[in-house]
Amino acid sequence: MPEFTVFKGSKERKILKSTTTKEVGDDDVLIKVTHSGLCGTDEHHKGMDMVLGHEGAGTVEQVGASVKTLQKGDSVGWGYQQNSCGHCKQCLTGRETLCPSRELYGSANFDQGSFATYAIWKADYVFKIPDSIPREFAAPLMCGGATSYGCLRTAGVKSTDRVGIIGIGGVGHLAIQFAAKMGCQVVVFSGTDSKKDEAKRLGASEFIATKNVEKLETAPIDHLIVTTSFQPDWKQYLPIMAPGGTILPLTVSGDDLRMPYMPLVLNELKVQGSLVAARQVHREMLEFAAFHGITPTIETFPMTVEGIEEGMKKLADGKMRYRGVVVVE
């Protein structure tokens, strides 16, 4: 039975080094972790007694007896969802992220995570990484990439659409790249001009600084993706939405969603929730990223207590450009 090092959260919100052990089941794979992304969701769970990290990348070390899709040595990754029942309506229609029995990061499998030297997961929820994507760049795609690409697919974005993206952070800078490579006009909204050049480099066709601006001036937006850590001033954005447009809030927030009511009715606007990508969409995301050369902008930290603490502090302080990656050395 494999035993390996893991890094856990704690009630005091300190990172603790520990060990865990688990049998490799018939439908499991043992993965030697090489890289893990740092995600805002890790910060939310830092106060829990659980192994942290859900943007994992590594190599397959061992496969269970029933596994046919992976073999030892494969470069693989995994993300936010870890398992589902496999037989409900949602699972059978490719929407397993909505399975009533779904196993998600932070609600199941507390002894496994990507802040570790190894991990054991169901093979059906492990993804082969294309050869052209190094694992340090693949790790952040496992959640950040799946979230940004997945919401574009959920909204049914077309190449003729104008896509607005609020925020240029860990998710926003990936959403810009995906939408631009889909052929969309991409309008980026940020507080100041400080990230204008970077947004343009990533593929933005238009950049609008919003701080102290009473009225935003731009052509109508078909899909508005909210990636900031706080809700925007909806009164500022609803007037620029195209009739029938879609608002996709990706912000993780415990606050109520509050926005003006009548603009939604009069313009038939939609507010569309979007979780991470289902497995087939996740596979498409990796293939799309590989083909178009989409990579996250990363900063690296060692897979140690000190390295993880440093990375998580930088993330919490809003100073990460743009995804942190913890590296097993």
Q: Is 44 a catalytic site residue?
A: yes
Among 20, 34, 41, 97, the one annotated catalytic = 41
Q: Is 35 a catalytic site residue?
A: no
Q: In this structure, what token pair is assigned to residue 277?
A: 């990508």
Q: Please, which contacts does 13-17 make with residues 24 or more away whose CB atoms are closer than 8 Å?
A: 13/46, 13/47, 14/309, 15/46, 15/52, 15/115, 15/305, 15/308, 15/309, 15/312, 16/305, 17/305
Q: Report the distance separating Cα 215 and Cα 237, nearest Å.
A: 9
Q: Please name which of 247, 253, 284, 273 lies closest in space to residue 98, comparing C-alpha atoms.
A: 273
Among 44, 210, 300, 304, the one annotated catalytic = 44
The residues that bridge with 308 in the sheet, in sequence order, are none
State the angle between helix axes of 146-154 and 279-292 in degrees (0 to 180), rounded to the nearest 10.
110
Q: Report the distance separating Cα 101 and Cα 199, nearest Å.
A: 39
Please count the CA atoms within 13 angstroms of the CA of 265 that sit on its side-chain side: 3
Active site amino acids: 41, 44
